[in-house]
Structure 1
Amino acid sequence: MTDRSLRFKSNSLLPRINIGINDVSLRIDGTNGEVHYRVLYPTWAGYGIFLGMVIGIFFILGEFIFPADWYLPEPIKNYIFYPFVGFWCLIWPWILIPMHKEPARNLLIKIMDEANQAKER
């Protein structure tokens, strides 16, 4: 932290997962006064990937414990169930990570606006 920059981190697991802003660096440009920021959310991303894998394991275990042979014949299950589990549990978390950038950006802007308004009072 300097007089032109600020860095803060979330210090507990719940805000890291719920809010998703884990590590923020702010820097004021000396020439025009613009605020540049960098937001990292490795805990949030890791939680999403971990949760997807846990859900996938439960789906597959559920299929072996309670087989749905009466509902889906084996060839259809191979073409529908396993790709479904693969997409939602392995690919979808990786899609969510870039989708989280805009809400994280908007939340950071909201936090900075509230801090500026509190300073003006």
Structure 2
Amino acid sequence: MRHGIVILPQDPWAVARRKWQSAEGLGFDHAWTYDHLSWRSLAGEPWHATVPTLTAAALVTETLRLGTFVASPNFRHPVPFAKEIATLDEMAGAGSSSGSAPAEPASMPASSASRRIHRGSATSASPSS
């Protein structure tokens, strides 16, 4: 069984560095951070960018697999984001992971599943048989 941890991107790097290194030292296999503009309960507090945070973590760890939870294409184009994650994957000793999915802005109510399907943002792909 592998174990992971979430490290919020809100601390100054001097503090965050110790958290990422501690996660590795405690034996976690993977560590994640959120790819949001902020977190609702932490609005108004510092919230650093995801890819630079993970890149810095890659430079101070060796065995942690690094990643973002779901990244929203509402805020970033998937092509340059994929390039950033590919670069991070090359830099991180244990690799990286990322997810991407449609999402509503925090200020908007969540759409119903039928509305997401209608506009084509609730789709999945599977290999053809």
Tell whether the structures are fold-level matches, with TM greater than 0.5.
no
TM-score normalised by the chain length of structure 2: 0.22
More helix by share: 1
TM-score normalised by the chain length of structure 1: 0.23
